[in-house]
Amino acid sequence: MASSSFIVGIIGNVISILVFASPIKTFWLVVKKKSTENYKGDPYITTLLSTSLWSFYGLLKPGGLLVVTVNGAGVVFQLVYVALFLAYAPKNIKVKTARSIVVLNVGFLGSVILVTLLAMHENLRLTFAGILCAVFTIGMYASPLSVMRAVVKTKSVKYMPFLLSFFLFFNAVVWSVYAILVKDIYIGVPNSIGFLLGSVQLILYAAYENKSTSTESTVEMEEEGSVRLMKGTMEMGASGDDGDEAHLKNRGLSKGMSLPKPQINRENSLKGIVKTLSLSPYELQWPLDYETGNVGDDTNHP
């Protein structure tokens, strides 16, 4: 049994480290642009706190080596991310981020460690640290709920990357199995919740992936139709101007004088262009009346 839990724990270490490494691309862009742009530092600060608490829990727990190794690696990753964020964030955000770090990762974490070690006996220490860790992990797994709600509302998985959802799901599965093998409720409960939420994410992805592709294709077709319609309007306006010009030149040659160009076609063309730019996707289904610049009604539509 011990060997099985060790193997599962090693697999869990590998998957968790892959999850911890997922923001590397983001911070590569931050370093390259020398700016944090619209990114927020809060997720990295809270993950640093969570991994620090789990590392502390692993040190308190007998046989908690694998818990210490994976979360120790997580602490290193988050420290790098937070340092880079502080290096490239604007001054006002840098001050707020530094304040959060002091409050959460120094003040709160330090208080938890001191209270646990100085004011609690051995059995209560593990329980207290385990409950805190479980609460933070449940919060981590629950954080994609807003994204899941957006997927249902927009019927698009554009902002829910499949690989990240899959690895979070797989990570929860492995650590749930590990918790069963070592009989650790504090690892088991939050990862079981993570397993359920991860399953919902994958189901949503399967349900809306094709609809997302279909929606994007429809939008592209509508945009292409709008561009073509606008191009046709402009060409009609241009050809109308050319025709007027040729006609006036002929009259000028025959009468020895030049007459002013009529402005009707130019004005109608301009109206058509403006109207085309303001068309909704629904209105693009109906014919455009180039004489008036208005969308005409088609009696054949349902």
Could you tell me if 138 and 245 lie in one domain? no
Could you tell me if 23 and 119 lie in one domain? yes
Where does a domain end: 143, 159, 182? Answer: 143
For residue 189, tell me if it sits in a domain.
no
Tokens of residue 261, six digits: 């160009």
Could you tell me if 4 and 136 lie in one domain? yes
Could you tell me if 238 and 139 lie in one domain? no
Q: What are phi and psi of 296, to 5 degrees?
A: -85, 155
For residue 202, tell me if it sits in a domain.
no
Q: What are phi and psi of 3, to 5 degrees?
A: -65, -35
**Burial class of residue 18 in the structure, from the number of CB atoms within 10 Å of its CB (0-12 exposed, 13-18 middle, 19+ buried):** middle
d(CA 211, CA 155) in angstroms, rounded, equals 7
Could you tell me if 37 and 126 lie in one domain? yes
**Is 156 or 272 the better-scoring residue by pLDDT?**
156
Residue 91, pLDDT > 50, answer yes
For residue 127, tell me if it sits in a domain.
yes
For residue 265, tell me if it sits in a domain.
yes
Mean pLDDT within 108-131: 93
Residue 31, pLDDT > 60, answer yes
Could you tell me if 3 and 110 lie in one domain? yes
Could you tell me if 22 and 130 lie in one domain? yes
CB 5, CB 181: distance < 8 Å = yes
For residue 255, tell me if it sits in a domain.
yes
Band (293; pLDDT cuts 50, 70, 90): very low
d(CA 69, CA 6) in angstroms, rounded, equals 12
**Is 38 or 96 the better-scoring residue by pLDDT?**
96
For residue 68, tell me if it sits in a domain.
yes
Could you tell me if 112 and 232 lie in one domain? no
Could you tell me if 110 and 223 lie in one domain? no
Residue 115, pLDDT > 90, answer yes
Mean pLDDT within 37-46: 88
Domain containing 50 equals 1-143
How many structural domains are present in the chain?
2
Band (165; pLDDT cuts 50, 70, 90): confident
Helix 185-255 to helix 162-182 angle (10° resolution) is 180
Q: What is the pLDDT of residues 172-205, one digit of tens each?
A: 999 999 999 999 999 999 999 999 999 999 999 8
Give the CA angle between residues 34, 40, 44 to the nearest 5°.
100
Could you tell me if 136 and 54 lie in one domain? yes
Could you tell me if 5 and 109 lie in one domain? yes
For residue 138, tell me if it sits in a domain.
yes
Q: What is the pLDDT of residues 228-244, one digit of tens each?
A: 544 554 454 545 555 55
Where does a domain end: 115, 143, 171? Answer: 143
Please give the pLDDT value at position 272: 44
For residue 48, tell me if it sits in a domain.
yes
Could you tell me if 231 and 105 lie in one domain? no
Where does a domain end: 97, 112, 143? Answer: 143
